[in-house]
Amino acid sequence: MQEKILLVEDDPSISEMVTNFLVKEGFFVIHASDGKDAMDLFAQQTFDLVLLDLMLPKRSGMECLQRMRNQSLVPVLIISAKDSDVDKALSLGFGADDYLVKPFSVIELLARVKASIRRATEYSKQEEKRKQEIIQIHELRIDIDNFQLTKNGITIKLTNKEWEILKLLIQHPTKVFTKEQIYRSIWKEEYYKDENVINVHMSRLREKIEDDPAKPKYIETLWGIGYRLGEF
């Protein structure tokens, strides 16, 4: 897929050079010559990267950077003639990802552009993967990777065994587990039909997550068989 770049630069010679070079390299480039047009375009379209000059008419590059960062995590690569402005953009919490100081070579520009887009793409993949590990079941929010459980925004502390039981049921939402299967999966030991261990842990888990432990909705009991995640 062709990556789309917003180039914000008021110098016609630089904007023409950068645009022509990046287009030849396979990018789709949209140009804005001032801060106001840049923000209008940014509001209307989605970009894979922004090349942003800091010395702009109508609205400063620094203001554009702040506004962009408040709206999006799109990588922003600063291009500026002043080292001091670059330092501000990178170090004062404005959210720039990289920079080039004028004059710069188009070869270096290309390397920075590809690196910024690559990092952003990898971050998006990791973030999407992380989101997939966060499961919402009504009031419960389960972050499997970080062992965090909240209900209505309030953190619930589980023991290791309680967490493993909940995780087992969540990761197999349609499966019914017998007490023997739960015991072998969690305790990694042979099951000798001592139901008390499972009953105690299940009771404590339900007390922590259920509105009414006597009428559980998150962990359903199938009498004579075992347990499964409740149907929602």
Q: Report the CATH number that the domain containing residue 225 is assigned in CATH.
A: 1.10.10.10
Q: How many domains does the chain have?
A: 2
Examine the domain organization and report whether 188 and 77 are in the same domain: no
Examine the domain organization and report whether 84 and 113 are in the same domain: yes
Angle among Cα 156, 126, 137 to the nearest 5 degrees reads 35
Last residue within a domain, chosen from 103, 132, 161? 132
Q: Which of 26-40, 171-185, 198-212 has the lowest mean pLDDT?
A: 171-185
d(CA 127, CA 137): 20
Examine the domain organization and report whether 101 and 180 are in the same domain: no
Pairing relation of β-strands 98-101 and 76-80?
parallel
Examine the domain organization and report whether 85 and 200 are in the same domain: no
- Domain of 9: which CATH number? 3.40.50.2300
Tokens of 155: 């953190």
Give the model's confidence band at 124: pLDDT under 50 very low, under 70 low, under 90 confident, else very high: confident
Q: What is residue 92's predicted lDDT score, i.e. its pLDDT?
A: 46
pLDDT at 129 > cutoff 80: no
Q: Are 186 and 168 in contact (CB under 8 A)?
A: yes
Examine the domain organization and report whether 119 and 207 are in the same domain: no
Residue 50 makes CB contacts below 8 A (sequence gap 6+) with 5, 6, 8, 42, 68, 74, 75, 76, 77
Examine the domain organization and report whether 21 and 107 are in the same domain: yes
Q: Are 231 and 220 in contact (CB under 8 A)?
A: yes
Examine the domain organization and report whether 154 and 89 are in the same domain: no
Write out pLDDT tens, residues 132-164: 567 888 888 888 777 889 999 899 999 989 999
Pairing relation of β-strands 98-101 and 226-229?
unpaired
Q: What is residue 34's predicted lDDT score, i.e. its pLDDT?
A: 95
pTM for the full model? 0.58
Examine the domain organization and report whether 154 and 212 are in the same domain: yes
Range of the domain at 83: 4-132
171 or 117: whose pLDDT is higher? Answer: 117
Q: Which of 18-27, 68-77, 154-163, 208-217 has the lowest mean pLDDT?
A: 68-77
pLDDT at 216 > cutoff 70: yes
Last residue within a domain, chosen from 88, 115, 132? 132
Examine the domain organization and report whether 120 and 175 are in the same domain: no
Tokens of 134: 């966060």
Examine the domain organization and report whether 63 and 9 are in the same domain: yes
Examine the domain organization and report whether 57 and 38 are in the same domain: yes
Write out pLDDT tens, residues 72-102: 888 899 888 776 666 655 544 567 778 888 8
d(CA 198, CA 220): 14
Q: Are 193 and 204 in contact (CB under 8 A)?
A: no
Which whole number is the average pLDDT over 28-39? 96
Last residue within a domain, chosen from 97, 132, 167? 132
Examine the domain organization and report whether 13 and 127 are in the same domain: yes
Q: What is residue 225's predicted lDDT score, i.e. its pLDDT?
A: 82
